[in-house]
């Protein structure tokens, strides 16, 4: 969850850098990174990791391309475009799907 939180708050922010085209277009490259998080495509999934993780075996988060696309859409529409912005954003994981819950 911390990896996704860092992706949204540090790497994307608001109004947010768009990864929409990159997610599905492999011709734009199989890897990209922001300030903290590196993203790598493999088959129908994207792996995220913290570039500064000092562990011997760094934590990698696996998420489907569609799920990441949906999270980015929700981030833009439920957080960035909302005025005033939500008090809190909670990332949940259930049944292999990540979602954003917004608390106003």
Residue listed under structure tokens 């995220």 = 48
pLDDT higher than threshold 90 for residue 27: yes
At 74-86, the pLDDT tens digits run: 999 999 999 998 9
Q: How many domains does the chain have?
A: 1
The confidence score (pLDDT) of residue 16 equals 65
The confidence score (pLDDT) of residue 73 equals 93
Longest Cα–Cα distance in the chain: 42
At 38-63, the pLDDT tens digits run: 999 999 999 999 999 888 888 999 99
pLDDT higher than threshold 80 for residue 33: yes
At 6-20, the pLDDT tens digits run: 999 989 888 766 788
Using CA atoms of 102, 48, 31, 8 in order, give the dihedral in degrees to the nearest 10. 30
- pTM assigned to the model: 0.91
Average pLDDT over residues 21-46: 95
Residue 62: how many other CB atoms lie within 10 Å: 11
**Domain coverage including residue 53:** 2-103
């Amino acid at each position: 969850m911390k990896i996704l939180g860092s992706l949204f708050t540090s790497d994307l922010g608001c109004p947010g850098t768009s990864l929409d085209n990159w997610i599905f277009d492999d011709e734009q490259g199989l890897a990209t990174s922001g300030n903290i998080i590196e993203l790598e495509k493999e088959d129908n999934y994207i792996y995220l990791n913290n570039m500064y993780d000092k562990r011997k075996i760094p934590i990698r988060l696996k998420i489907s391309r569609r799920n990441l696309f949906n999270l980015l859409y929700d981030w833009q529409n439920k957080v960035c475009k909302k005025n005033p912005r939500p008090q809190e954003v909670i990332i949940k994981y259930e049944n292999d799907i990540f979602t954003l819950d917004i608390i106003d």
